[in-house]
Amino acid sequence: MMHSTRRFATGQTRATNDIRARRAMHSYDSALLWVSILLLSFGLVMVYSASIALPAAPKYAAYQSDHFLMRHSVALVAGFALAWGAFQVPLKHWESAAPKLFIGALIVLTLVFAPVIGKGVNGSHRWISFGIGHIQPSEIMKLAATLYAADYTVRKQAMMQSMREGFLPMALAVGCAGALLLLEPDMGAFMVIAVIAMGVLFLGGINVKWFSGLALTVAGTFSLLIWLSPWRRARIFAYLDPWDARYAQGKAYQLTHSLIAFGRGEWFGVGLGNSVEKLNYLPEAHTDFILAVIGEELGFVGVLSVMLLFLWLVRRAFSIGRQALVLDRVFAALTAKGIGLWIGVQAFINMGVNLGLLPTKGLTLPLLSYGGSGIVVNCIALALLMRVDYENRVLMRGGKL
């Protein structure tokens, strides 16, 4: 009798401790929140540092020194507001709206070619102008493609081994988005979206044979596009030998000055605000090549710190996705991992370009580079990631969604 009483008391104690542990669990991932805020805040500082000297160039002569700082700040405020709103929406509503969001993103992509609102720069049509500002639809498509790929995989889970019913519809959807992006042209965004879709399909259990075929098809397509485009071929040749006199002042100009910036930074940098390359030597220092300015001003230590923060963020996204999968929340799991893939792949490509490891592409560094559309959409994506984690924690505490 006494043994039974002790076992009951022990069981009751364990149950009480389990309840207390669940109640003590935070309702949100504070580490994820603070790492996100740290990256966004650091990006604001570096955008100001990289853009403060731009008005000295004729192209930006009409701007004030804080022009890009103010616009980036407005984008951050808008991003935080929309992220807060996105966080309030349960994942089940995002899941049901995913196909409509993808179709809407396709429609918005076509508007860049509209004669009045479409905005073209240097032969590229990537923006929609609203007078006081403009948006870049390819950024919206990255989020829409992530949600659509996750929703598609859930809906077609039983058909993932079929080429006709599981593989081809998704390939067609990505192909439509890719065709519009290549018309802009924005091959970098197409690469990111293709990797997101392929990654989510792979994680969702697509037939390995079809996945391998898709990967080879995508690789072949990109190779063919590069080979058939003289200016893309020139970029490849410039990347292979940037110091060649034929390229150093042409296609490899950005790359050579980016490498010079990293070389000047050495271990600890020349000091915040003291970059020389940002003085209109390195083009797009506040957007595509902001990592080079970080390298020059904060050195190897600064660049490594940024890389480690991104690595932590991507690992955390996959960890949240795995936890959602344990709770049998497949859409939430694939959304979290898709966001991790998106941020990780785009950051990897941007860093590789800045360091001369990859050919030059027009991709910004997520959360850090100047660009209102990118910042706003990145904030919304992080809010969705936090929403997945929040719902995981509600369920683990024994609550209901």
**pLDDT for 260-315, tens place per residue?**
999 999 999 999 999 999 998 888 899 999 999 999 999 999 999 999 999 999 99
DSSP state of 240: H
246 lies in some domain? yes
Strands (E), 95-240: 118-121, 124-129, 134-135
- Hey, CA dihedral for 236, 241, 243, 246, is it positive or negative? negative
157 lies in some domain? yes
CA–CA dist 38, 30 (Å, integer): 12
Which residues lie closer than 8 Å to 112 by C-beta, 6 or more apart? 118, 119, 125, 126, 127, 128, 137, 184
302 lies in some domain? yes
Which residues lie closer than 8 Å to 136 by C-beta, 6 or more apart? 126, 127, 371, 373, 374
Residue 227: both structure tokens together: 């080979």
Q: Which residues of 41-54 are buried (b: 16+ CB within 10 A; e: fewer)?
A: ebbbebbbbbbbbb
Q: How confident is the model at residue 12 (pLDDT cuts 50, 70, 90)?
A: low
Question: 344 with 110: CB under 8 angstroms?
Answer: no
The order of strands in the sheet holding 124-129 is 118-121, 124-129, 134-135
258 lies in some domain? yes
Which residues lie closer than 8 Å to 45 by C-beta, 6 or more apart? 272
Q: Which of 394, 390, 371 is nearest to 382 (CA)?
A: 390
pLDDT tens for each residue of 369-395: 998 899 999 999 999 999 999 999 999
Question: 384 with 340: CB under 8 angstroms?
Answer: no
Q: How confident is the model at residue 240 (pLDDT cuts 50, 70, 90)?
A: confident
Q: Which of 265, 262, 266, 231 is nearest to 352 (CA)?
A: 262
293 lies in some domain? yes
Q: How confident is the model at residue 47 (pLDDT cuts 50, 70, 90)?
A: very high
2 lies in some domain? no
Domain that holds residue 80: 31-396
- % of the chain at pLDDT higher than 90: 53
**Residue 8: Cβ within 10 Å count:** 10
Indicate the number of domains in the chain.
Answer: 1
CA–CA dist 308, 39 (Å, integer): 11
With the CA atoms of 111, 115, 120 and 123 taken in that order, what torsion angle do they form, in degrees rounded to the nearest 10? 110
pLDDT tens for each residue of 167-187: 778 888 888 998 899 888 888
Question: pLDDT averaged over the chain?
Answer: 86
Q: What is the pTM of this model?
A: 0.89
8 lies in some domain? no
49 lies in some domain? yes
